[in-house]
Amino acid sequence: MDVTLWRARTELARPVAAGRQRHDTRDHVFLEVREGDHVGYGEVSPQPVALNGDPGVGAVIAEIEGPLRTRITEIHHREGTVPDWTRTPSLRDDRAESAWAWALVEMALLDLSLRSSGDDLATRWGADGTEETMATVSLIEATPWVDTGSAYRVRAKVRPGSVLPDLLERLGDLGRPVLLDYNATAVDDDEVVETFRRVSDVVTVVAVEQPYAPGNVAAHARLARRGVPLSMDEGVRSVADVRQIARYGAATMVCVKPARVGGVASARSLMREARHLGLRAYLGGFFESELARGVTRALALAECDEPSDSAPVAFASASPIEPLAGGLGWRPVLERLGPGTRWT
């Protein structure tokens, strides 16, 4: 077994202002796993710093180079091979950085599995049908929006007192259903209700996404009783979270982000549990490259009836990945990223 870790940074072609940060660059963490004659690649793209329960990129890399490296090396020495990708949910713990680190390993092992068997991900998962995507814009800052293209739904970033009238009019002109995404910045039910009603005057608001802090199920349930449709995002990390949301009527929708919940196997379990409990589930992302986005897209087609965050991300800087036949279809541009950190 040979493992190599890289970190790359890209600039987004269209920055997006959110509740507590401005998305203008993105760090990508890539992993290569070689076993015998086969190779697999994975990607996660963490936040620059810890926010709303998600770890910063430094903590994720430290987890990979520390506890994860020790664990996967022990398994290889004991069993003589790398673990199957489906085992990764049982190998991580409940810490946020552990979920992200093992999500990265899971994707690399999935790619390795596909390349070893010659399988196609879409066929293996039954990923067919028509893809419905979301585009993310901001009502906070008057910067150029991403091309909404064929996106079926728009996620619009807001925070208290931030909705710019000109941008609200522009949002209405798009004529797409909207998620109003607070990113846990709301402080007052009345303000959320007023913003919901104001935006609803010009466009259909499907839900208000994560107005309050992750874990504050009571506040969301209270707001829901005022007739505001809600979705949970940062507050969705486990099956237990999904069950709590459904039990207390805290939302009607949930956004499941594979990196946050520990990978695609865990994401699939959460989405199935959500549907079983009567919640509408969709997939989110973190401005990843097409390596990770392609996996999200296949999972959305296989498991999701809602528009998901699976459209390609436009970067202003050079792409950190390049096509590679077979498997997930991509790999890091090794010549551009340098030697990385390697262990055996």
Cα gap 182→213, rounded to integer Å: 10
Cα distances (Å, whole numbers) of residue 202 to 147, 173, 311, 336: 20, 8, 25, 46
- Residue 178, pLDDT score: 98
Locate 56 and state its tokens.
Answer: 């910063």
Would you say the C-alpha torsion 206, 296, 269, 245 has a positive or negative sign? negative
Q: What is the CA radius of gyration of the chain?
A: 20
- Residue 208, pLDDT score: 98
Q: How far is CA 77 from the centre of its chain?
A: 32
**What is the distance in angstroms between the CA of the first residue and the CA of the last residue of the chain?**
6
Q: Decide: residue 250, CB within 10 A, 0-12 exposed, 13-18 middle, 19+ buried.
A: buried
Q: What is the DSSP string of 162-213?
A: ---HHHHHHHHHHT--EEEE-TT----HHHHHHHHHHHHTTS-EEEEE--S-
Contact 279, 254 (CB under 8 A): yes
- Residue 327, pLDDT score: 96
Count Cβ atoms below 10 Å from residue 117 Cβ, excluding itself. 11
CA atoms within a 13 Å half-sphere pointing along the CA-CB vector of 342: 8
Closest C-alpha to 203, from 255, 251, 148: 148
DSSP 54: B
Which residues in the chain come in under a pLDDT of 70? none
Phi, psi at residue 149, to the nearest 5°?
45, -125
Per-residue b/e over 36-64, b at no fewer than 16 CB within 10 Å?
Answer: eebbbbbbbbbbeeebbebbbbebbbebb
Cα gap 252→281, rounded to integer Å: 9
Phi, psi at residue 167, to the nearest 5°?
-75, -35
Spell out the alpha helix ranges (H) of the chain.
57-63, 69-79, 88-91, 96-117, 121-125, 165-174, 189-200, 217-224, 239-247, 258-261, 264-276, 290-303, 334-337
Cα gap 302→104, rounded to integer Å: 20
Cα distances (Å, whole numbers) of residue 25 to 56, 166, 208, 284: 13, 26, 26, 18
Closest C-alpha to 186, from 155, 164, 216, 149: 216
- Residue 128, pLDDT score: 82
